[in-house]
Amino acid sequence: MICYADFHVHIGMALDRFVKITASRRLTVTNAIKVAKEIKGVDILGIVDCGSKVVLNELLKLVEDGQLKELAGGGLICQNGLLLLLGWEIEIDDVHYLCYLPTIDSLRELTKILWPRTKNIELSTQRFTIAVDELRGIVENLGGIFFPAHAFTPHKGFYGKAVDSLYEKFSKPFLSIELGLSSSTEMVWGIKELKDTVFLSNSDAHSLEKIAREYNEIFVEELSFRGVVKALEEGSIIGNYGLDPRLGKYYETACIDCGAVYLGENRCKCGGYFVKGVRPRLVELEGFIATKDTKRPPYIKQIPLEFLPKIGPKTIQKLHRLGTELEVLNSSTFEEIQAVAGEKVAETILQARDHRFSISVGGAGYYGRVRSNY
């Protein structure tokens, strides 16, 4: 079956306690499940705070109440048909990594090892005192998978911040790697050591609205953790869908204080420092090459509804009459959109779908902006 998957979504609160301080309070486990499936159109959701004690306890309660059910092939199936994967984003040596475990029991085994190695077992993405290659081995021995999160960003990215080659830290390549905000397949496929690594495009959502900002179209033989891993091993990604990299918060080298794009100065005119962007970093890593890697699935650049000019929450609510956000962005006709939201909104969405817009690039933590051409 063909599924849409976002493997990287955070939780803001669980059991009335904060999990991700920078995330929305509305981003709870149950809200994420509902919005991902019923509003965004996602079939597979990876929650990456399952190693938090309060998130784990909430998941156990939802299983006990019958709202979640563990599958024989791993993962949890929700009442609305969504497959939930047990993920855990962790920080080691100032770099973020993603761990995914097949079962609650295997996740509990990992917590026994990791909880004593951090200061706060309730909050998201904590620092752990463990060798990263040791942790990778532990996760894989538990039947899980392990790879870098948002690998090319200057903020906690494996290639963006820590290394020029994965062999500086590991003895073998990863099964997968998360591209992260501000990069795309075309920007990365020149890195030779990643030639057999599956690229994933995930949202790293800190709010309900950001779920499926990036996502993957994937063929799975079985809707389960086992089915997802088999699909990754066989390279069954059909397409990567993501924000146009130029709109990402880290695309270009820019001033950390005002967002001004780097033009060759040592310091910005405002006095702030410049943060190296993903694009120039990938030039250094020789990610850009002219020859297309035809074995790779396409990276489809798209603009989520909330990024489009003059489309606010009320308009988005009207558009939901047509189906999920993925359906509106990719398949609703001009006439269908016009009927529920008007001609200008229909033109804006079609303009975005056909890449007929101007973009002011993002950098240093500032998103780029879409500028309408009509």
Q: Which residue has the higher pLDDT, 356 or 119?
A: 119
At residue 373, the pLDDT reads 63
Backbone angles phi, psi at 299, to 5 degrees: -100, 110
Q: Is the pLDDT of residue 293 over 80?
A: no
- CA–CA distance from 71 to each of 78, 119, 227 (Å)? 10, 32, 11
Give DSSP secondary structure letters for 146-183: EEESSTT-TTT-IIIII-SSGGGT-SS--SEEE--TT-
Digit-coded pLDDT (tens) for 63-114: 999 999 999 999 999 999 999 999 999 999 999 999 999 999 999 999 999 9
Digit-coded pLDDT (tens) for 357-369: 899 999 999 999 9
Angle among Cα 99, 205, 306 to the nearest 5 degrees reads 160
Residue recorded with tokens 């229909």: 346
Domain map of the chain by residue range?
A: 2-245, 306-356
Q: Is the pLDDT of residue 287 over 90?
A: no
Give DSSP secondary structure letters for 183-242: --HHHHTT-GGGTTSEEE----BSSGGGTTSSEEEEE-SSSSHHHHHHHHHTT-EEEEEE
Which amino acid, 61? Answer: K
- CA–CA distance from 330 to each of 225, 241, 301, 327 (Å)? 27, 11, 11, 5
Q: What is the mean pLDDT of residues 13-25?
A: 97
Q: What HEC string does 96-147 produce?
A: EEEEEECCHHHHHHHHHHHHHHCCCCCCCCCECCCCHHHHHHHHHHCCCEEE
Digit-coded pLDDT (tens) for 200-231: 999 999 999 999 999 999 999 999 999 999 99
In percent, how much of the chain has pLDDT > 90? 90
At residue 355, the pLDDT reads 86
pTM as predicted: 0.94
Around 206, how many Cα atoms within 13 Å sit in the side-chain half-sphere?
Answer: 7
At residue 251, the pLDDT reads 97
- CA–CA distance from 90 to each of 126, 127, 180 (Å)? 6, 6, 16
At residue 22, the pLDDT reads 95
Digit-coded pLDDT (tens) for 249-284: 999 999 999 999 998 888 899 999 999 999 999 999
Backbone angles phi, psi at 4, to 5 degrees: -105, 130
At residue 310, the pLDDT reads 87
Q: Which two tokens mark 107? A: 């996740």
At residue 139, the pLDDT reads 99
At residue 290, the pLDDT reads 62
Digit-coded pLDDT (tens) for 175-202: 999 999 999 999 999 999 999 999 999 9
What's the CATH number for 2-245?
3.20.20.140
Which amino acid, 160? Answer: G
Q: What's the CATH fold of domain 306-356? A: DNA polymerase; domain 1 (1.10.150)
Which amino acid, 214? Answer: E
d(CA 143, CA 126): 22
At residue 289, the pLDDT reads 72
Q: Is the pLDDT of residue 374 over 70?
A: no
d(CA 332, CA 348): 13
Average pLDDT taken over every residue of the chain: 95
